[in-house]
Structure 1
Amino acid sequence: MQMSSRRAVLAAVLAVCMSGAAVAGSPAPSTGLGQAWPNAIDVSVNPDYHAYVFVLGGMQYIQINDLNGNVLGSVGTAGGQFITLPMGRFAQYVSTPQQPASANNNATPTASPAPVYDDGTTVITATPMSDASTQLKAAMCVPSICDAHGS
């Protein structure tokens, strides 16, 4: 009797969870901000990086990882405003329109900035540097301008 009660409770919980997901019409929420391999879809537009997006409380958090899963940096954005999150190997080299990089990197670029994330509104580029660091730059993208310049 006790086993069948547990099964009934488990079935009820699963039914509620599954119906909630079906009603919402969206995939399961992403988790793992700050992790090497978070429970989120890789949305990078560049095969040399991983980009993960998390949404909570109207804020969008975008995390950029290298190919080995090392977190390089992350930004939060909402309503055209950005903030650099204090996480990742090169968080001090992340810049946004409202917040320049907190550290002055005297290294020189070894390649041109390359788009890593682009959702049509927000663009993040990565620039490999001569000291093996990576500078990340987040910016708002006006679609007509981004489309004309290839992001």
Structure 2
Amino acid sequence: MRARSLLLLASLIAVPFTAVAQQANSGLGQSWPNASDVSSSPNYHVYVFQRGNTRYIQVNDSNGNVRGAFARTPYSLVGLPIGTSQLATPDEPLPPPSSSTGETVYEGNGVKVFIAPQPDGSSRLMAVPGDCTTPVTCSSSFH
């Protein structure tokens, strides 16, 4: 009887941790994927997907338009060929944008995503390591 009670208690404790650790593994590229919005900004939606050791971070604007997405592997951080924004990472740097004013839309799991609207109406999405204090510098080819 005691062994059964311990087994039941162990299974109840393990359930919440399993549910929290699971992330969406489909829906990347969709306007309104069936995934939790983890954005730190009221102006954007951020969705995180996981497949194997790769984490995908997608940023949509408030209307559901895909702005861009990044893939984070144990070895690199790269932009994916979806969305309307220019993407920059330390692994795929771009020259500094015209405007560096913007906001952090996601920070978690060692990655920070920053978006900077540009004067021409476009936007620059930058994904950098979580300890970076200036995303424009960390994702620039001139640092």
When normalised by structure 1's length, the TM-score is 0.69
Aligned residue in 2 for 1:99: 92
> For residue 122 of structure 1, what is the amino acid of its counterpart?
V
Percent identity over the alignment? 35
Once the two structures are overlaid, the 10-residue window that deviates more, 80-89 or 32-41, is 80-89
Q: Which runs of 5+ in 2 are unaligned?
A: 1-14, 134-143
Letter in 2 for 1:68: N
1:24 shift after superposition:
8.1
Which of the residues 114, 119, 127 maps onto 1:138? 127
Q: Distance in 1 between matches of 2:76 and 2:120?
A: 30
1:103-132 deviations in Å (ceiling 9; x for gaps): x79x732x6131011015100000011111
Residue in 2 that maps onto 1:125: 114
Asked whether the 8 Å contact 1:123–1:138 carries over to 2, the reply is yes
Quick one: higher RCO (CA 8 Å, sep 6+), 1 or 2?
2
TM-score of the aligned structures, taking structure 2 as reference length: 0.72
Unaligned runs of 5+ in 1: 1-21, 147-151
RMSD: 2.5
Aligned residues: 117
Give the number of the structure whose residues are more often helix, by fraction: 1
Partner of 1:69: 64
Matching residue within 89, 98, 106 for 1:108: 98
- State the structure with more CA Rg: 1
